[in-house]
Structure 1
Amino acid sequence: MHETTTMRAKWTVMLSIVLPILITQIALYLMSFFDVLMSSKYSTADLAGVSIGSSIWLPVYTGLSGILLSITPIVAQLVGAKRQKEATFSVQQGFYVAIALAIIIFGLLMASINPLLNMMSLEPEVHRIAHDYLVAMCFGLVPLFIYSVLRCFIDALGKTRISMFVTLLATPVNIFFNYLLIFGKFGFPELGGVGSGVASAITYWIICAVGIVITMKAQPFEAFQLYANWPKLQLAKWLEICKIGVPIGLSIFAEISIFSVVTIMMSNYSTAVIGAHQIAMNFASLVYMIPLSISMGATILVGFEIGAKRWKDARIYSYLSVIIAVGFSFISATILIIFREQIAGVYSTDAQVVTLATQFLIYAAFFQLSDAIQAPVQGALRGYKDVTITFIMAIISYWVIGLPLGYVVANYTDLGPFGYWIGLISGLTAGAVTLSARLLIVQRKAQKHTQENPST
Structure 2
Amino acid sequence: MYHAETILEKCRLFAIILWPILVTQLSYFGMNVIDTIMSGQAGTSDLAGVSIGAGLWLPVFTGMNGILLAITPMVGQLLGKKEHHSITAIITQGFYVAILFGGLILISSALLLEPVLSLMSLDPEVHHTAKHYLIGLSTGIIPFFLSIVLRNFFDAQGYPRITMTIMLGVLPLNFLFNYSLIFGKFGAPALGGIGAGYATAASYFIIFLFSVVMTFRVEVMRRYRIFVQWFAPSWTAWKRQLRIGIPLGLSLFFEASIFSAVTLLMAAMFDTITIAAHQAAFSFTSIIFMIPLSMSLALTIVVAFEVGGQRIAHAKQYTRIGVLTAMCIMLISSCFIYFFREPISYIYTDNPEVVALAKRFLIFAIFYQFSDAAQSTLQGVLQGYKDVTVPFLTSFISYWLLGLPAGYLLAAHTNLGPFGWWLGITVGLTSAATGFFIRLKIVQHRHASVPQSMAGDT
- TM-score, normalising length from structure 2? 0.91
- The alpha-carbon deviation at position 343 of structure 1 amounts to 3.5
Match of 2:242 in 1: 242
Report the alpha carbon displacement of residue 411 of structure 1 after superposing the two structures with TM. 4.5
Equivalence map 1:389-400=2 (5 Å): 389-400=390-401
**By how many angstroms is 1:452 displaced?**
7.5
Partner Cα distance (1:355, 1:179) in 2? 27
Structure 1 letter corresponding to 2:31: M
1:196-215 paired onto structure 2 within 5 Å: 196-215=196-215
Task: Quote how far apart the aligned CAs of 1:225 are.
Answer: 1.5
Partner of 1:80: 80
Could you tell me how far apart the structure 2 residues matched to 1:392 and 1:213 are? 39
1:227 aligns with 2:223: no
The alignment partner of 1:299 has SS state of helix
Matched residue SS, 1:449: coil
- Contact 2:55/2:263 (8 A) holds in 1: no
CA offset at residue 286 of structure 1?
1.7
Aligned to 1:254: 254
Specify the SS of the correspondent of 1:281: helix
* Contact kept? 1:77, 1:304, Cα under 8 Å: yes
CA RMSD of aligned residues (A): 2.6
Distance 1:206 1:349, change over 3 A: closer
- Alpha-carbon shift at residue 294 of structure 1 (Å): 0.6
Are the aligned partners of 1:273 and 1:356 in contact in 2 as well (CA < 8 Å)?
A: yes
Q: Could you tell me which residue of structure 2 aligns to residue 426 of structure 1?
A: 427
**Equivalent-residue separation in structure 2 for 1:348 and 1:132 (angstroms):** 22
| Deviation sequence 1:30-53 (CA, Å, 0-9, x none) | 212222333445566655544443
Pick closer, same or farther for the CA change 1:11–1:442 going to 2, 3 Å.
same
- When residues 250 and 190 of structure 1 are mapped into structure 2, their CA distance, relative to the original with a 3 A threshold, is same
Structure 1 gap ranges (5+):
none
**Contact (CA 8 Å) 2:138, 2:201: kept in 1 or not?**
yes
C-alpha separation between the residues in 2 aligned to 1:70 and 1:61?
A: 15
The answer to which of 17-26 and 399-408 deviates more is 399-408
Deviation at 1:339, TM superposition (A): 3.4
Q: Secondary structure at the match of 1:204?
A: helix
Q: What is residue 96 of structure 1 aligned with on the other side?
A: 96
1:195 aligns with 2:202: no
Q: Which residue of 1 aligns with 2:377?
A: 376
Distance change in 2, residues 1:313/1:259 (3 Å): same
Contact 1:216 1:227 in 2 (8 A): no
Which amino acid in the other structure matches residue 428 of structure 1?
L
Distance 1:41 1:282 in 2: 15
What is the match of residue 295 of structure 1? 296
Q: Report the CA distance between 1:353 and its aligned residue.
A: 5.5
Cα deviation for residue 336 of structure 1 reads: 2.4
Q: Which moved more, 1:98-107 or 1:144-153?
A: 98-107
Deviation at 1:218, TM superposition (A): 0.5
Partner of 1:34: 34
Q: Once the two structures are superposed, what CA deviation does each residue of 1:312-369 show, in whole Å capped at 9, x if it has no partner?
A: 1111111111011011011112222333444445556666665554444333222111
* Mapping 1:210-359, distance limit 5 Å: 210-266=210-266, 268=269, 276-344=277-345, 346-347=347-348, 356-359=357-360
2:173 is aligned to: 173
SS in 2 for 1:197: helix
1:111 corresponding residue in structure 2: 111
Contact 2:25 2:294 in 1 (8 A): yes
Distance (whole Å) between structure 2 residues aligned to residue 160 and residue 241 of structure 1: 21
- 3-state DSSP of counterpart to 1:224: coil
Number of the residue aligned with 2:161: 161
Alpha-carbon separation, structure 2, partners of 1:286 and 1:325 = 14
Rounded Cα–Cα distance in structure 2 between residues aligned with 1:127 and 1:418: 24
For residues 403-444 of structure 1, what are the alpha-carbon distances to aligned partners after superposition, in whole Å with 9 as ceiling and x for unaligned?
A: 223333445555454433333222222221221111111112
SS in 1 for 2:449: helix
1:109 to 1:236, Cα distance in 2 relative to 1, 3 A: same
Cα pair 2:42 2:183 within 8 Å, conserved: yes
Residue by residue over 1:233-276, the C-alpha shift from the partner in whole angstroms, topping out at 9 and shown as x without a partner, is 11111011111111121112211221233334445457665555
State the identity %: 44
1:322–1:195 CA distance, 2 compared to 1 (3 A):
same
The whole-number CA distance in structure 2 between the counterparts of 1:194 and 1:269 is 23
Q: Which amino acid aligns with 1:117?
A: L
Mean Cα displacement is larger for which, 242-251 or 404-413?
A: 404-413
Q: Which one-letter code corresponds to 1:9 in the other structure?
A: E
CA separation in 2, counterparts of 1:193 and 1:356? 22
| Cα deviation, residue 148, structure 1 | 0.6
Q: Distance in 2 between matches of 1:418 and 1:48?
A: 18
Q: 1:287 is matched by which residue type in structure 2? A: I
Q: Which moved more, 1:42-51 or 1:100-109?
A: 42-51
Code of the aligned partner of 1:71: I
Which amino acid is 2:100 matched to?
A
Q: Deviations over 1:74-104 (max 9, x none)?
A: 1111111111111111111101111111122
**Aligned partners of 2:418, 2:124: CA distance in 1, in Å?**
32
